[in-house]
Structure formats: structure tokens, C-alpha cells
Chain A
Amino acid sequence: MSSTKQNSAVQSIVNDLLVELHARSGCEKIGLTRESFAVILCEVGTKHATATTSETEIRSFFLTLRVDELALARACAGGNNSAWEIFLTRYREKLYLSALRIAREDSAARDLADTLYADLYGTSTRDGQRVSKLSSYTGRGSLEGWLRTVLAQEYVNRYRRTKRLVSLDEESEDGVQFCAPDPEPAPAADTRLEQATDEALALLSAEDRMVLSAYYLDERTLAEIARMLGVHESTISRKLDKLAKALRKQILGNLVRRGMSRRQAEESMDVDVRDLQVNIKRTLTQESSPPAFSEKRAEARVREGSG
């Protein structure tokens, strides 16, 4: 929460930059008054600014805002018809196409797009006021990108719900304990291994960890991860190589520091009961054609896709 001091700072900066920002926003065409716009800017600014944000940062924040799209979105949220016309002309087609890309299936995409459109238009009301999702758009990213993100969030939420259900079923069938996120109390070696691993992971940067997670947990492709981070695919490839080697070395060192001998440490790293299990499973799934595990996963995907 930003302090009052920050609020007044934001206010003054808004006043400073209002003329310029207003000129760029094209408010007149969409029926947004300058005063309303100023209010909007202040709200956005205060939402973003923290106690530690400097004035220069606030100023640069405002200057990099996409004020024209912000004005359009807020005018639409306010129910301005001319704004809506513009919005529909520009974004309706794109909305549907993005939904299609996300859902990968026509009916699901249409459903997704229509749901979002209703949310954007503000079919629901609260305290007599139209509640539009467009009010939460603050102009930090492009409106088109924001629409895509919202679609993706909606889609993931749906999938998440479905996924949760499926994964529970799966786990119960596989015999794994139901509430499994916490590791089982394991022999000392395991604990030490866990600790050593956590330590090693903690040393990595957020980006490194994100890459590791995306690659090993989500099993995303190098290209996808590269696009997410805005780097070249080869960068991700090199990073993963380096990380894997560094991680192994680091964990080994941590284990040794925890009292294991080197040989012991290597053994515990290479031979882990759970690893064996998972390895066998993995081997089995690779060799044979769709085993139960993957089948279930595939079924779940289809289910949630049509849902």
C-alpha cells in the first residue's frame, strides 16, 4: 500500500504530465474528459508505486504507459458506446483468434472468447455500477497482450479445476499418498539430500529456477521457454547445460559438507529410491505405447479441453 505521501507525489506528477499524456491518449474521440483521465492516471500510479518508488521512477512509469489504450479500455468500462465501437473493431477478431490458439479447439475457443467478452463488457453489476474487467487494465502492457493474458488465465483456471480433480484420481490409483507435496520422512541421507538440493537451488537466480522448472517440470520445449523469456533458444540450451552441471556439483559439495563422504554423496545422488521408482516408470512409459499413466493424463486433457 502506498502512503499518502506517495499519493500526493503521484498526483503532482500526474498534473505535470497531464497535458502530454492527455494529448497522446486521444480521450476526446472516446468521450473521456481530461479530469476523468487524470483520476484514472492517479489510480494507476498509486497502484503501482510502492513506498520505495522514487519520483523519477514514477515519472518514467507514467511516460511508458500506453495511455491511449488505457483511455480506450476505461472508456469502454464506463460504457461509452463510441469507445466500444472502436474496441470491437480493433479487438474482437483478435480476441477470438487468441482464444482459438489457447484452447486449440473451436468450440472451446468460442466459449472462452464469449465468456471474456461478457466480462469485459460488464454484464455483471456491483452496487449499481457496471463491473468490467477492463477496469483492471492499467496500460502497462498492450491491450491486445492483456486480452491474451486474461484469456490464458481464464483457460488455466478452468484447466486447473479440472486438473486438480484428475490428479487426485490419478494419484489414488497409482497408490501414491494423497497429500503428497511434502516429502516423506526419509533416512538421514534423503534429508541431507533434500537440504543440499534446496540450498543449491536457492543459490540460483529466479530466472534459472524458472527455466529449470519450465523445462523439467512443465516439460516445455526450449523454444517455448526462450520465447517466454525473450531470449534465443540456444541461450536456454546453454543455460540448462550449465545449470545441470553446476547443480550436481553444488549438491555434491553440500552433501560432503553435511558429513557424507564423496562416494556416499555420489551414491545417494545417483541412487534414490523414489528416483528408481520414477525411473522405472519413466522407462516403462517410454518403451511401451500409452500406459495407464499417460492415458489418464491424455484423457484429462481432452476432458478439460471440451469443458
Chain B
Amino acid sequence: MPNVPNFVRERLKAAEPTAGHPDADVLTAFVEQSLRSVERARVLDHLARCADCRDVVALALPATEDAGAVTLVPHRGWLTWPTLRWAFVAAGIMVIASFGVMRYRESAQPEQLSRYAAQKVEVARESRASAPVSAVARPETKRDKALVPSARSEADTKSGAAVEPKQLVDTELASAQPATKQMDRLSSQQPSANDFHGSVGGPIKRQISNGPNPPAQWQQQNAQLPPVRMIAPAAPPAATAPQGANAGANTGNLSQAVTVEVAGEAKPVATEAQDQNSQAQLQSSDSQERSAYSTVGKAKAPVNVETASAAPATDAAGQQELPRQDGNINGRNFVLATTPALLPRWTISATGSLQRSFDQGSTWQDVDVNANSALSMSSLEAFAKTSRAREKDSNKKALKAAVATPTFRVVTALGSEVWAGGSAGALYHSADAGSHWTRVFPSAAGTNLSGDVLSLEFSDPQHGRITTSTPETWTTADEGQTWQKQ
């Protein structure tokens, strides 16, 4: 503190009090800050001169503990720097924390989204499988033999969904043998009969095996189901899939997968009795599986099941000859495992080729829909046979032509469900974000979708609408299993 010259002190001391000492009341009021300004100035002047009164004031100050009653230090309020300083620090911390939380959520969300999408896909498949059960029954009569395999395959998937599939299966069993033979033929001709879509009311699961020996396969499946079942409960129980049909369909899907695993087997066709047994087994095991899968989580379950089923399939079946489309089939299972985490973006290039990007559009890769195409000549033929006889050949040709990479015009994707449409009625569908494709042939009332696909709208995996250049409008409500022409 600065010092004043002592002569100043002397002069200060020399000052004499002007008036008499203020009484106790006034001094008290001074200490308690309740004097008016004029009076306060007067008291201050006296205090400046009178050391005794200064002493009295100093002594009469309240103890610092109870300074609340006589607050000599004015209340600083909230906006003083010390308080603000900490307020700023706290605000900064909160901002950083909220950023961190948001980033974490963002990174977690795509995973969840894709998982959810995969789940929806499963649900869609299940519903699709169950929905056209009745449809299956109807066209059963009209259907050619060639369709039986598909129907049967469908039955594979839908087994356990309802009584109908059972009936259907039984019905089909009657034609099991010829069908089996047919399937043998089919399998010999073309490795993969999977993903045969668009048959008339014939909802064929994509994962339908190449054809050979569904009953035997089912037997295989049965053997494999227990392991699958064991795994399923281990998966997160977040089951949103509706019970019953969907579960059954889900089961069916998985048995499809399982089927796929053993698809390539060229096992001798089981006898009818065997078939029946296997059917019965299938039913029961499917129902078991259904209950298991009713608690299955979304993407995880299929993954677990599929990968798990791959192993037991290998063990149980013994001859684990993978179908000729080996890598693809296996790959599909594993792709399904990875799909939830990686959803690409889709586009059509200027030259009409389908492209996808896994890095939000930085780089694009061409997608060859035929590389993993499940399209087989047999299915082509089967499809062709749905048309009127006179169109058969032309359609067949058209279809064959279309087997070559089509020129795409439009693509739409819902999670890992991708639909791509192009010229000459080319319509492809992938359920695994483009790793495997199925050619879809919308067909209704004996007519097929023709013309260039100009627009694809899928509000959800089940419901879609196609507009063509003909112009035609086709809609589906079951993820492309059946189509209606508007």
C-alpha cells in the first residue's frame, strides 16, 4: 500500500470533530447502511475526524459469521466473474459431452439401422412366405409340373407356417417323385435354382435350393435344426417378428439357408415314405424352430444360425458338397452376416450399369447382377411356361437375352433390400445389399412384365410399385413374390 507523507498524517490527526458525537442509534444505522446520504455524509465527516467514533464503529460491527443481518459486503450477484468462470467451464464440458454422445449415437445408428433393416427383411420374407400360402394352393391346380419344385421349395420355407403348407406339402408329396425327378433334372441343368421369383403366385424363396432332394434336404435340415435351435435363444431376444407364420417363415428362411448349405448334394432321392417322415419331422422341427425363432433377435439370429448351421450341416450331412454355386451360397450366408453393418449407396451410371458405393459416394463399383444371379435356365423355362404357349419362345428368348447384363434405368434400396429395374422388363432384387441378385419376373394373369422399367417405388420391403414404358404399372405387396398389374 502506498504511504502518504507523515505531514499528511499530522494534518489528518489535527482535524477536530465539527459537531458532537453521533448517538448510538445513528452509528448503528450507519453500520447497518440505513442512513440517508446526507446524514451518512455528515457521519462520515465526523468519523474522518473522530478516532473514538471510528473505534466505536469498528467494534460495533457484527461478527463476520452473522454478516447476513448487517451485510457490509454487498451481494455480488451471479454475474461476477468467479461464478461466471465456472459456469463457462461447466458449459464447455457439457457441450463436449453432448458432442461425444451424438457422435457415438451416430456411429451406432447405422449399425442399428442396418440391423433393423435386415430384421425387416426377415419379417418381410416371413410374411411373404405365409401370405401366398393360399395363393399357392390356388394355382396349384393350374400349375405345371415344373412349378412343383418351386411350390415345394416354397413349402420348404413356409412349412410350419400354417396348416395349409402342410396340406400343400402333402399335396406335393403326391408329386414328390416326379417333382424330385424334375428337380434332379433342374439341378443337373442349372446349379442354382435359388431366388426364383415371380412365378405366378409362386412365391419362391430366394434361398430355395437348387432343387435336388428337398425331402432329403429337409431331413438334413431336421438334423441341423437342433443346433440351430440351441443357438437361437442365445441371440438377443428382441423379437419383433410376429409369431406364428412369420416365425415359421423365418424358420423357413433358415432352413433355406441350411438347405443351401447342403444344396449341392446329389443324394439319391428319398422314397416317399422317407419324404413323409421328413415332412413330418420338418413340421415338428419347424414348429420347434419357430418357437425358437420367435425369440430370435434380428440380424444376429440369422447370422448365428446360418453360420452355425453351416457347421452342423457339414457334420451331420456328411457329404457336404456345396452346390455348384458354392462361394455364392456360402458367401451369401456370410454376407448376410456382414450386411447389417455395411449398407452401400446405389446409383445407375450414365451407361446404364448398376453401381454401389460403400463409402458414401466417394467411390463406386459396378455391380453385376448376373455374377451371383440365382437365375437359372430351368427357372427361366419354368417362367416361360407360365406364359401362353405362343409367347413361350419369344419370352424365352427375351428372358435369355435379359440374362445378359441389362441396361438399368432405376434402382431403389431399403436397407439391404435392393431393387433394380432396366430395359426390357429387367427387374432384379437383392436382399443382401447387392451381393446376390435374383431376377424377378412379375407376372400376373398370364402376362409378364414387359417394357422398360422406368420407376421403382418401395415404401417398405413388401410393398412396391413398378412403372414401365409400355406403360404398365405393377404392384406387389409381398416383397415381389406376387405381382399385380394395375
Binding site for B on A (CB under 8 A): 57, 64, 97, 101-102, 136-142, 144-146, 148-153, 155-156, 159-160, 181-183, 190, 193-194, 197-198, 201, 205-207, 209-210, 212-218, 220, 222, 224, 226-232, 237, 240-241, 243-245, 247-248, 251, 269-270, 272, 274-275, 278-279
What residues of chain B lie closer than 8 Å to A101, measured between beta carbons? 63
Contacts of B4 in A (CB 8 A): 212, 216, 243-244, 247-248
Partner of B72, one of A102, A150, A207, A230: A230
Are A152 and B11 neighbours in the complex by a CB distance under 8 Å? no
CB of A268 to closest CB in B, whole Å: 9
Please, which residues of chain B bring their CB within 8 A of the CB of A279? 6
Bound together, the chains give a CA A207 to CA B57 distance in angstroms of 14
B57 touches A228 (CB 8 A): yes
Question: In the complex the two chains form, is B44's CB within 8 Å of A206's CB?
Answer: yes
The answer to whether the Cβ of B273 comes within 8 Å of any Cβ in the partner chain is no
Q: What are 14 A-to-B residue pairs whose CB atoms are below 8 Å?
A: A142-B69, A145-B32, A148-B28, A152-B57, A182-B14, A207-B48, A218-B54, A227-B61, A228-B57, A231-B72, A231-B73, A240-B2, A275-B5, A275-B6
Of B2, B8, B73, most A-chain CB atoms within 10 Å = B8
CA distance in complex: A237, B1 (Å): 8
B residues in contact with A251, CB < 8 Å: 5, 8
Residues of A within 8 A of B71 (CB): 230
Known: A194-B11, A232-B73. A224 touches B62 (CB 8 A): no
Determine if B55 and A149 form an interchain contact, defined as CB atoms under 8 angstroms apart: no
CA distance A101 to B66 in the complex (A): 13
The answer on a CB contact under 8 Å between A149 and B14 is: no
The answer on a CB contact under 8 Å between B48 and A210 is: yes
Interface residues on B, range: 35 or more
Is A226 in contact with B72, judged by CB distance below 8 angstroms? yes
Contact for B70 among A142, A155, A156, A237, CB less than 8 A = A142
Known contacts A156-B52, A226-B72, A145 near B12 by CB under 8 Å:
no
Distance between Cα atoms of A178 and B71 in the complex (Å): 43
Once the chains are docked, how many angstroms separate the CA of A101 from the CA of B7? 34
Question: Can you list, as one digit per residue, whether each of B35-78 has a CB less than 8 Å from chain A (1) or not (0)?
Answer: 11000011011011101101111111111100101111110000
User: Could you tell me the distance between the alpha carbons of A182 and B11 in the complex, rounded to whole angstroms?
Assistant: 10
Q: CA–CA, A144 to B66, complex, Å?
A: 12
CB distance from B19 to the nearest CB of A (A): 13
| A216 adjacent to B9 (CB under 8 Å) | yes
Docked complex Cα distance between A160 and B27 (Å):
18
Q: Report the Cα distance A101→B343, complex, angstroms.
A: 79
Kindly provide the distance from the CB of A79 to the nearest chain B CB, expressed in whole angstroms. 21
| B31 interface contact, C-beta 8 A | yes
Q: A152, B1: Cβ atoms under 8 Å?
A: no
Q: Is B34 an interface residue (CB 8 A)?
A: yes
Known interface pairs A136-B23, A149-B60, A193-B7. Does A228 touch B31 (Cβ–Cβ under 8 Å)? yes
Q: Is B103 an interface residue (CB 8 A)?
A: no
A240 to B4, CA, bound (A): 10
The CA-CA distance from A151 to B9 in the complex, in Å, is: 29
User: In the complex, what residues of B have CB within 8 A of residue A215's CB?
Assistant: 1
Q: Which of B3, B24, B74 contacts A231 (CB 8 A)?
A: B74
A274 with B7: CB separation less than 8 A: yes
Nearest CB on A from B17, distance (A): 12
List the B residue with the shortest CB-CB distance to A152.
B59
Residues in chain B within 8 A of chain A (CB atoms): 1-15, 23-29, 31-36, 41-42, 44-45, 47-49, 51-52, 54-64, 67, 69-74
Q: Nearest CB to that of B35 among chain A residues?
A: A140
Per the bound structure, the CA–CA distance linking A230 and B60 in Å amounts to: 13
- Report how far A153 CA is from B50 CA in the complex, Å: 13
Q: Could you tell me the distance between the alpha carbons of A30 and B2 in the complex, rounded to whole angstroms?
A: 55
CA–CA, A140 and B23, complex, Å: 11
Q: Select which of A140, A151, A194 is within 8 A of B60 by beta carbon.
A: A151
Determine the chain B residues whose CB is within 8 A of the CB of A245 once the complex forms: 2
A216 smallest CB distance to B (angstroms): 5
> In the bound complex, what is the Cα–Cα distance between A229 and B74 (angstroms)?
10
Q: What residues of A have a CB within 8 angstroms of the CB of B3 in the complex?
A: 244
Contacts A155-B59, A207-B44, A212-B4 given; does A183 touch B10 at CB 8 Å:
yes
Q: How far is the CA of A292 from the CA of B51 in the complex (A)?
A: 24
Q: B10 contacts A136, CB within 8 Å?
A: no
Task: Tell me, in angstroms, the Cα distance from A226 to B34 when the chains sit together.
Answer: 16
Check A217 against B5 for contact (C-beta < 8 Å): no
CB of B73 within 8 A of CB of A141, answer: no
Q: Nearest residue in A to B27 (C-beta to C-beta)?
A: A149
Decide if A141 touches B25 in the complex (CB within 8 Å).
yes
Residues on the B chain within 8 Å of A140, using CB? 25-26, 28-29, 34-35
Question: Which of B2, B54, B55, B72 is in CB contact (< 8 Å) with A227?
Answer: B72
- B8, B24, B58: the one contacting A228 at CB < 8 Å is B58
Contacts of A146 in B (CB 8 A): 24-25, 28
User: Residues of B contacting A209 with CB < 8 Å?
Assistant: 12, 15, 44-45, 48-49
Q: Tell me whether A227 and B73 are in contact (CB under 8 A).
A: yes
Shortest distance between the CB of A222 and any CB in chain B (Å): 8
Residue of B nearest to A193 (CB): B7
Give complex CA distance A251, B4 in Å: 11
In the bound complex, how far is the Cα of B451 from the Cα of A217, in angstroms?
109
Are B33 and A230 interface neighbours, CB within 8 A? yes
A230-B12 in contact given A241-B2, A275-B7 (Cβ < 8 Å) = no
Contact call A136/B25, Cβ cutoff below 8 A:
yes
Residues of B within 8 A of A148 (CB): 28, 59-62
Q: Which of A155, A160, A213, A248 contacts B48 (CB 8 A)?
A: A213
| Cα A210 to Cα B58 with chains together (Å) | 12
Give CA–CA (A244, B71) in the complex, Å. Answer: 28
Within the complex, which residue of B6, B25, B47 is in contact with A272, where a contact is CB–CB below 8 Å? B6
Q: Say which residue of B7, B14, B27, B55 sits within 8 Å of A181 (CB atoms).
A: B14
